[in-house]
Structure formats: structure tokens, C-alpha cells
Amino acid sequence: EAGVAQSPRYKIIEKRQSVAFWCNPISGHATLYWYQQILGQGPKLLIQFQNNGVVDDSQLPKDRFSAERLKGVDSTLKIQPAKLEDSAVYLCASSLGGRALDTQYFGPGTRLTVL
Amino acid sequence: KQEVTQIPAALSVPEGENLVLNCSFTDSAIYNLQWFRQDPGKGLTSLLLIQSSQREQTSGRLNASLDKSSGRSTLYIAASQPGDSATYLCAVEYGNKLVFGAGTILRVKS
């Protein structure tokens, strides 16, 4: 079974620029998550999709971050404009359902450096 | 506020030693608790999941315990090996949301 795919793996941009990350979840997984992991911290949930609907985006900085999941499969996360404090690893995860006990499978992440 | 704390932040042990990683959480109304492993440049891998009604789970050399009333969990690693070197993350599930600790960086020296 193929895992969660993310691209790019690394990205370096200057502050105020825009950037987009892509995630392809495991086939058949209805739920998709985006996490932000700042160096030295645990992952923090940014947004959760159930199929192509948003379940939880309470911790997404909506003034600069946006995410979409068209057709309930792939997802993109965009930052516009980026700030220095956005430097982090952005992890995508997917699960079969969205209930407790549904295992989340994580992708390798995209490491973003904002200069 | 739902917070998860892990102690110690880093640990270095010689190969073969048994070790314990600690996790504490502030809100005891949990659905389950998971321990993850994170290797550099890679995603997270789920090691053990303990349901809120359970007290422990075992997988090979790993044993995780859960005490909801005191808000604590421990991950016990027996006979540690250099391949166990990684960051270990504790995550508590509230509803559909995972709240992570900052992790313990483990180094097992050969």
C-alpha cells in the first residue's frame, strides 16, 4: 500500500513570498489532516478535511493560510504572504475515517524555511 | 486548555539499557493516547495506541501504560538498540483531534 505523498520535500523562500504544498493521501482515506511542526515542538493541527469538507480549521491562521481538497482526494496548503515564524515542517496525514481509533498515517513532510 | 508534556526532552543511554519515557496531559477526558516515533526527515509512525478504557498495550520490546486519573502515560523500551534512536512523541486524542507533546529525543549508543 502506497503511503501519504507530499511535495516538495524542501522549500526556501523569502518573507512576504507565497508558497504551496501538495499532499496525496492513501487511496480510499476519507480524512486528511495538515499539521505544522515547529522545530522543538510537537505537530499542531492546522486543518482537517472529511472528504472535501472542512471539519476543523480552528488553528489555521486564515489571514495568510488557506487549504483546499478538491474532489475529496489531493489537497494543497498555501501560505500568502509568508512570515519568518512560518518556518516549520508541514505534515500531511490521512485516515480511513475521522473517528477516534482511526489510525493516522503521516507523510514525510515539507520543510519550509522563510528567510 | 489541553496540553501534553513530555519528560525528559532528551535522553542518551548505552545499548541494552531499559528506559522509560514520560507523558502527562492536563485534560483527562481523552478518547485514546498514542505513542509515535519520528525519524529525521520522515513522517510519524504510530507505535502503540491505548484506548481510554485500557491500562496498557504491548508490542515487542515496547510497553505503554495509561493512568487517566493522574493524567500520565509511560513508554517502556526494553533492551534498547541503536536502531531505537529517534524522537518519541506522545499524542492524546480529544474527539477527532490529536494534541501532541514536544517529544523526547532518544539516542542509544552502541
Q: How far is CA A85 from CA A20, A38, A82, A92, in A?
A: 16, 9, 8, 19
**For chain B, counts of helices (H) and of strands (E):** 0, 11
User: Which residues in chain A have their CB less than 8 angstroms from residue B49's CB?
Assistant: 101, 103
**Chain B interface, best mutation among A21, A45, A104, A111, by max B CB count within 10 A:** A104
- Residue in chain A closest to B30 (alpha carbons) equals A100
pLDDT digits (tens, 9 = 90+) for B56-87: 999 999 999 999 999 999 999 999 999 999 99
Q: Do B89 and A43 touch (CB under 8 A)?
A: yes
Query: Distance (Å) from the C-alpha of residue B77 to the closest C-alpha of chain A?
Result: 21
Query: Distance (Å) from the C-alpha of residue A18 to the closest C-alpha of chain B?
Result: 23
pLDDT digits (tens, 9 = 90+) for B32-51: 999 999 998 888 999 999 99
* Cα dihedral B1, A105, B34, B44 sign: negative
CB–CB of A93/A4 below 8 Å?
yes
Q: Do A108 and B93 touch (CB under 8 A)?
A: no
Q: What is residue B56's predicted lDDT score, i.e. its pLDDT?
A: 95
- Give the whole-angstrom CA distance, residue B72 versus residue B62: 17
Sequential pLDDT tens for chain A (115 residues): 689 999 999 999 999 999 999 999 999 999 999 999 999 999 999 999 998 899 999 999 999 999 999 888 999 999 999 999 999 999 999 998 766 667 889 999 999 999 9
- Tell the residue number behind the cell numbers 481509533, with chain if given: A101
Chain A residues touching chain B at CB-CB below 8 Å? 3-4, 40-45, 48, 55-56, 91, 93, 98-101, 103-109
Out of A3, A45, A55, the one facing B98 most closely (by C-beta) is: A45
Query: Distance (Å) from the C-alpha of residue B17 to the closest C-alpha of chain A?
Result: 25
H, E, C per residue of B26-60 = CCCCCCEEEEEEECCCCCEEEEEEEECCCCEEEEC
